[in-house]
A and B are shown apart, each in its own frame.
Chain A
Amino acid sequence: MNTQMTQYKWFLSFEKEEAWLEEQSRQGRHLIRVSSGFKYVFAQGQPEERVYKIDFRYFTRQSDMDEYVTLFEDSGWHCVSPKKGSYNYYFFTTRKEGVETDIFSDQDSKAQRSLRYAQYSLFALIPFLPIYMAMFANGAIKFTELGYLTPGLWEMQGAQFWRHFLFETPFVVLRVAGGMSPLIIMLLFAFFCLRFYLNARKIRSLQG
């Protein structure tokens, strides 16, 4: 019987993601696809010692992606359900005892992978800037109106205060979340960008 299982996970490091996939295969769970970057679908099978490597690339032309995947397959790597328009490409091969296996043969090209990710995060951040500024400009977000709006709330006492305070709290949370979400997304992308940029610098510094 062929059973599938799904796991949701988000990684901030290629190396950790690769190690996790290798551990899954050791348990007999082999990756068959990744959707949206965080939904991992596995097929249950025999435990295997695999090496997983992830590359970060974007292809606009199908023939470019076909050429890319074929080059890896010719060199003994299988690609897990390649799809044009995805960014992460998952490759695996059987682990050979005592042999270091990688899809990169120098530190520079390995650092380039992290730089491509950092660059992508930066580009993903840019469209949010005008949206956020426009929301401010047309008054959709006003910092003065994000908090509690009940007139005289802070002068109220005891039960009356708590009743109004608790009644309004869900609305405040919604307003803050709505007004802040573009900012939070931007900060998140900025964080990804910085993290992968620093990772690339670290890999480069290991160059002998």
Chain B
Amino acid sequence: MDPNKTIPLTEATYYILLSLTEPLHGYGIMQNVKTLSNERVNLAPGTLYGALDNLKKQKLIELMADESDSRRKVYTLTGLGRQVILLEFERMKNLVAISAPILIGDTLK
């Protein structure tokens, strides 16, 4: 699949992928997103489960082979997932660089 077709990402999806740069289980992702966003983004379990299901189908994330606790499956980014979040990061960085001189009269480095 073309990684360009999956961006832009929603904020929730971006945070989930960002969390999965390290292996985490579902509830771990939920807590990590809460911490990263300063408690602003609170993913409810039904929403998170659906998002993980979709990302798995799109092959952006995968299950870790180790199944020591099958009730808490551990996810991680795939190569494609890593490509996608980096593309999205570049896209947003570009947007910020373009907007900064126009909106706040300052050039960000």
Contact = CB atoms under 8 A, between A and B. Distances in A.
A165 B60 CA distance: 69
A74 interface: yes
Interface in B28-69: 30, 42-51
B71 A105 contact: no
A63 B51 CA distance: 18
Instruction: Describe A's contact surface by its main secondary structure.
Output: helix
Contacts of B70: 63, 66-67
Nearest to A107: B47
Interface string A67-78: 110111011010
B27 A74 contact: yes
Contacts of B71: 66-67, 70
B50 A109 contact: yes
A202 B46 CA distance: 19
Contact of A105 (B43, B72, B73): B43
A117 B45 CA distance: 19
B48 A71 contact: yes
B12 interface: yes
Given A106-B12, A109-B51, A67 B26 contact: yes
12 contacts: A53-B46, A63-B73, A68-B49, A70-B26, A70-B27, A71-B26, A71-B30, A77-B45, A103-B45, A105-B42, A106-B12, A106-B47
Interface string A24-65: 000000000000000000000000000001010000000100
A102 interface: yes
A184 B14 CA distance: 46
Max chain A Cβ within 10 angstroms of own Cβ: one of B44, B45, B47, B70: B45
A75 B27 contact: yes
A55 B46 CA distance: 7
A88 interface: no
Interface residues of A, number: 21
A112 B53 CA distance: 12
B73 A109 contact: no
A113 B48 CA distance: 13
A171 interface: no
Contacts of B42: 105
B44 A103 contact: yes
A106 B33 CA distance: 15
Contacts of B27: 70-71, 74-75
Nearest to A101: B44
B38 to A, nearest CB: 16
Contacts of A112: 50
Contacts of B44: 75, 102-105
A199 to B, nearest CB: 16
A116 B71 CA distance: 24
A105 B26 contact: no
A104 B44 CA distance: 5
